[in-house]
Amino acid sequence: MQRDWTDIFGGLALALIGAGAAGWASLHYDLGSLRQMGPGAFPVGLGLLLAVIGLIVAVPALRRAGEAVPVEPWSALAVLASILVFGFGLRSLGLVIAAYLGVLVASLPAPRRGVTWRLMLAGVVTLLTVLVFRTGLQMSLPLWPVWI
């Protein structure tokens, strides 16, 4: 039988997060009293609650059929890489190069072959970005690398 793996893993992951947060909070933050609740009271309470709810999500799913979920690891990788390239490039490489590279990386998993359209798209998006955020909104961003 194809079990409802998403709810099993999802629920268990949440339960772990909850238990972890409650554990960390109870070790590091004061619980306080009813009159003067400490910084630990809420995180511990919420963490335990999340652990319980996570189990409530996961346990019934063990005996239930579920459907397979289509995962797109390459899309995720490219999108995240694109954000990081842009983020780290922004201050050092400047808006133009960071945006150009960011778009190129992001477009890698797009379901169409060819290099030309990617290069052109990156150019157009970069131009738009500069126009909207630098020229229009006057954000204080370096356009070009620091060393130029």
Please state the closest distance from residue 40 (CB atom) to another protein, in A. 8
Nearest by Cα to 105 from 83, 128, 72: 83
Residue 46 backbone dihedrals phi, psi, to 5 degrees: -65, -40
User: What number of other Cβ atoms are within 10 A of residue 117's Cβ?
Assistant: 12
Record the tokens describing residue 30, joined without a space.
Answer: 């004061």
Output DSSP code: residue 72. -
Q: How far is the CB of 1 from another protein (least distance, A)?
A: 19
Check residue 29 for interaction with another protein (CB under 8 A).
yes
Q: For residue 58, count other CB atoms closer than 10 A to its CB.
A: 19
Of the candidate residues 39, 62, 123, 143, the single one contacting another protein (CB under 8 A) = 39
Residues in the site for another protein, rule: CB under 8 A? Answer: 6-7, 9-11, 14, 17-18, 21, 24-25, 29-30, 32-39, 41-43, 46-47, 49-50, 53-54, 56-57, 69, 71-72, 75-76, 78-80, 82-84, 86-88, 90-91, 99, 102-103, 106-107, 109-112, 121-122, 125, 128-129, 132-133, 137-140
